[in-house]
Amino acid sequence: MLRSVFCSVGLFVLLWGAAFLMIDKVTLNMEEAPGARSGFRGMFSSVGIKQKREFDPPEWAAFSLMSVGTVTMLYSVALPKKPG
């Protein structure tokens, strides 16, 4: 069980690193402000205004994630088998 957990976590991190190789910027569209209140006190807040958050991963992030994912997957192969 532990071997498959390490293998799946390593694959997940490896695929995120490969995705960061192909994207330059991620834009998240949000419907309302996080923590916005409704009702009378929230009347003057920014409810209804769409906010855009941008995530620009650094260039080194893709290669770091891919290397950490690969090492984790190799570690899962090197774990001793359970006797049984």
Number of other residues whose CB lies within 10 A of the CB of residue 54: 8
Q: Which of 8-12, 42-46, 63-67 has the lowest mean pLDDT?
A: 42-46
pLDDT at 84: 62
**Unique residue bearing structure tokens 């923590």:** 35
Spatial neighbors of 23 by CB under 8 A, at least 6 apart, are 57
Residues 10-28: tens digit of each pLDDT: 999 999 999 999 999 988 8
Q: Is the CB of residue 10 less than 8 Å from the CB of residue 72?
A: yes
Secondary structure (3-state) at 2: helix
pTM (predicted TM-score): 0.69
How far is the first Cα of the chain from the last one, in angstroms, to the nearest whole number? 13
Domain borders along the chain are 2-77
Q: Is the CB of residue 61 less than 8 Å from the CB of residue 25?
A: no
